[in-house]
Chain A
Amino acid sequence: MKHRISALFLGTALAFAAGGALAQDKNVKIGVLTDNSGLYSDLGGAGSTLAAQMAVEDSGLAGKGWKIDIISADHQNKPDIATTIARQWIDVEKVDIFMDVLNSGVALAVNNLVKEKNAVMINTGAATSDLTNAQCSPNTIHWVYDTYMLANSTGQALVKAGGDTWYFLTADYAFGHALERDTTAVVVKSGGKVIGTVKHPLNSSDFSSFLLQAQASKAKIVGMANAGGDTTNTIKQASEFGIVAGGQKLAGLLLFITDVHSLGLKVAQGLSFTETFYWDLNDGTRAFSKRFSERMKNKAMPSMVQAGVYSGLIHYFKTLEAMSGNPHDGAKVVAKMKELPTDDPLFGKGTIRVDGRKIHPAYLFEVKKPADSKGPWDYYKLIGTTPGDQAFRPLSESACPLVKK
Chain B
Amino acid sequence: MQALYAQLLVGLINGSFYALLSLGLAVIFGMLNIINFAHGALYMMGAFCAYFLLNLAGIGYWPALIIAPIVVGIFGMILERTMLQWLSGLDHLYGLLLTFGIALIVQGVFQNYFGSSGLPYAIPDELKGGMNLGFMFLPIYRGWVVVFSLVVCLATWFLIEKTRLGANLRAATENPTLVRAFGINVPRMITLTYGLGVGLAALAGVLSAPINQVRPLMGADLIIVVFAVVVIGGMGSIMGSIITGFALGVIEGLTKYFYPEASNTVVFVLMVLVLLVKPTGLTGRAA
Contact = CB atoms under 8 A, between A and B. Distances in A.
B117 A209 contact: no
A212 B118 contact: no
Interface string A192-211: 00000011110111101110
A100 interface: no
Contacts of A263: 120, 213
Interface in B68-117: 111-112, 115-117
Contact of B115 (A42, A210, A215): A42
B212 A210 contact: no
Interface in A220-249: 228-229, 232-233, 236-237, 240-242, 246
B217 to A, nearest CB: 8
Contacts of A258: 117
A237 B211 contact: yes
Given A212-B3, A216-B3, A236 B10 contact: no
A208 to B, nearest CB: 5
Interface centre among B6, B136, B215, B260 (most CB of A within 10 A): B260
Contact of B117 (A204, A206, A232): A232
Interface of A: 37-42, 172, 198-201, 203-206, 208-210, 212-213, 215-216, 228-229, 232-233, 236-237, 240-242, 246, 258-259, 262-264, 266-267
The 4 closest A-B pairs by CB, nearest first: A201-B264, A209-B256, A264-B120, A262-B117
A251 B117 CA distance: 19
Interface stretch (B137-145, B152-160, B167-175, B227-235): B137-145
A200 B10 CA distance: 15
B255 to A, nearest CB: 9
A241 B3 contact: no
A209 B260 contact: yes
A42 B264 contact: no
Contact of A236 (B136, B212, B221, B222): B212
B149 interface: no
A213 B3 contact: yes
B257 interface: yes
A173 to B, nearest CB: 10
Contacts of A203: 221
Given A172-B261, A201-B264, A267 B117 contact: no
Nearest to A209: B256
Contact of A240 (B116, B120, B139): B139
Interface centre among A206, A229, A233, A267 (most CB of B within 10 A): A206
B53 interface: no
B105 to A, nearest CB: 14
A204 to B, nearest CB: 7
26 contacts: A37-B111, A37-B112, A38-B116, A39-B116, A41-B115, A172-B260, A199-B261, A200-B256, A201-B260, A201-B264, A204-B264, A205-B222, A206-B14, A206-B211, A208-B10, A208-B142, A209-B263, A212-B10, A216-B3, A233-B212, A236-B213, A241-B130, A241-B137, A242-B130, A259-B117, A262-B119
Contacts of A198: 260
A361 B179 CA distance: 75
Contacts of A236: 120, 211-213
